[in-house]
Amino acid sequence: MSRKGLVSLIVLCLCISALYESTTWPQLEKGGGAFEFLTLLSLAVTITYIILSQNASSNWNVKYIYPLASNLGFQVTMGYWSAKLLGVKSYERSLWLAIRLHAIPYLYLLILDSHPQGSATISVTITVAFMLAWCIYVDIIIYWNWGNNTTSVPYGTLNEKTFIERVVWIAGFTILSCSNYIILGIRNCL
């Protein structure tokens, strides 16, 4: 096994253990469960990318899955650590879990498994489509459970917002995700 393959296997194990540990959160017992958390979806996309990249050298995986995993990883990493610096409460139980959820996957994609920047159109389109699907999913869960106190938006800052205000926040998350394309361009210039 190559050094890159070994590192990929270690990162894969860390990501899977973080995903497993995160799905035991009491907050996931309400509403839509784990899929309401963009962090866990981002981690699942990264795990999928790592598994596919180890089993097949497919241009499709690099062209579509890598930009999505990288963009979501950037958004989750920047969003989480920025909120942490601002003192926003999070669900993590330990710093080690936070690092496995919000640092290792993105750093792996950015540094250890880097690829050419690729098409901006594909990167933005696939990210916007994913974020739109996620936004619709979360709002369907909220609509189905409206008024019975069984669910809430996974991010506390959005709980008291209207649909339009939530869409604006999600648009901000999406713009943050898509801005990773610029980071990849800078990385490739170094």
Q: What is the pLDDT of residues 75-98, one digit of tens each?
A: 989 988 887 888 776 655 688 988
Q: Which residue do the tokens 């999070």 mark?
A: 90
- Of 10, 12, 57, 19, give the one whose Cα is nearest residue 41: 19
Question: Other CB atoms closer than 10 Å to residue 184's CB: what's the count?
Answer: 23
Structural domain boundaries of the chain?
3-189
Query: What integer pLDDT is reported at residue 159 of this predicted model?
Result: 66
- Of 31, 74, 32, give the one whose Cα is nearest residue 187: 74
Q: ∠ CA(117), CA(121), CA(122), 5° rounding?
A: 70
Query: What integer pLDDT is reported at residue 185 of this predicted model?
Result: 84
Task: Give mean pLDDT, residues 173-180.
Answer: 91
Q: Quick check: 14 and 106 in contact, CB under 8 A?
A: no
Task: Give mean pLDDT, residues 21-27.
Answer: 71
Amino acid identity, residue 29? E
Q: Is the pLDDT of residue 21 over 90?
A: no
Query: What integer pLDDT is reported at residue 32 of this predicted model?
Result: 54
Query: What integer pLDDT is reported at residue 68 of this predicted model?
Result: 93
Task: Give mean pLDDT, residues 173-186.
Answer: 90
Q: Which of 28-32, 99-103, 182-186 has the lowest mean pLDDT?
A: 28-32
When comparing pLDDT for 62 and 172, which is higher?
Answer: 172
The pair of structure tokens assigned to 88 is 């926003």
Query: What integer pLDDT is reported at residue 14 of this predicted model?
Result: 94
Q: What is the mean pLDDT of the chain?
A: 82
pLDDT digits (tens, 9 = 90+) for 102-156: 899 999 999 888 777 788 899 999 999 999 998 888 778 777 766 666 556 666 6
